[in-house]
Amino acid sequence: MGPYDTVQLQSTNPTALSDWLTANGFAIPADVQPIIAAYVQEGFDFLALKLQPGQGVQAMRPVRVTSSGASLSLPLRMVSAGTGATVGITLWVVSQGRYEAANFPNFTINPSSLVWDWNLETSNYTTLQQQAESAANFATWQTESSLDISPYQVENSVLADDASNDYLPIPESDAGDGGAGETADQVRQDDLAAVFPSSSSQGTVRITRMRADLAHAALANDLTLQASSDQSNVSNIYQVTQSINAPACPAIPNPCPPCSGSSGGSSGGTVGSQGGGTTTGPAQPGQQSFGCSAVPSEEHGGAWLELSLAGLLGLSVVRARRRRNKAAR
């Protein structure tokens, strides 16, 4: 299969399976032996893959495994083989509704808890994420987003690039079962067809993105999924409404003290910019109006501050009138 040698294995004897794996160059850590024994006892089959001789890591590519039935699970126990103290996993669930972990606690980050730091030009999103994970001993799943999306949106984005950038063709010699092989584009189409069957192409699907940084101890149980009791959307865009260390507004002296008592005041205006803005409200008669406020943006950290001196136009008109009056005298 592509650059891999593959063997599908089935055993009722965990020792025999471990012996075969060891004899064929698969390293089995001591703490993984009981996991293999448990899978064998539960009736699992195994798929063993390794790179063919002469193939380097550059030849590696993703492997798609499909199975019949509606068992929504991820075999985390096998993930524990070769991992460190924690392992980060991102999981996308494509379905007709929002899903969540059934045997792990779940959490989301409330956008109202986010705070933008103007000095650091970042928010506390990662801090809140790590605090929630630490409180659960790194055995929890975050729902980062859950949105109803047309399959065409995803397909159009995927198909916009040349297939050879992300996929390798399957030569006839590797197709197996007498297959004719596939081009890179055909391999990509197979992926899309597996994710979005024809029954889902007529409307929208719910794509839920889940994230976890799991401690090694948390990998002792496979992840099982269930429909969430909360089927509301979770946006993938988090709007920050609080900030700290906002840049100070520049001090603006009153440019026309004698005009403060006149009846012909200037009108204020409002301007803004990406990531931040300045705001001037309408001026009262006989007053100049200046003000600014800095607000965080969801897209840009370092905001540009602009100041609109709307009253200067009125000031120049007053001075021009005075010059004309003097000339008339």
Q: Which residues pair with 272 in a beta bridge?
A: 277
Separation CA 211–CA 234 (nearest Å): 14
Task: For the chain, give every domain's residue range.
Answer: 1-63, 70-242, 246-328
C-alpha dist (Å) from residue 189 to 152, 155, 184: 13, 9, 9
CB 213 within 8 Å of CB 104 = no
Q: Is 208 helix (H, G, I), strand (E, B) or coil?
A: strand
Question: How would you write the pLDDT of the chain (329 residues) with one tens digit per residue?
Answer: 668 888 888 888 888 888 898 999 888 888 788 888 899 999 888 888 888 888 888 778 778 888 777 778 898 998 887 778 899 999 999 999 999 999 999 999 999 999 999 999 999 999 999 999 999 999 999 999 999 999 999 999 999 999 988 888 877 766 666 667 889 999 899 989 988 887 655 689 999 999 999 998 999 899 999 999 999 999 999 999 999 999 887 777 776 666 544 444 433 333 333 333 333 334 344 443 334 444 444 444 333 333 333 333 333 333 444 444 444 45
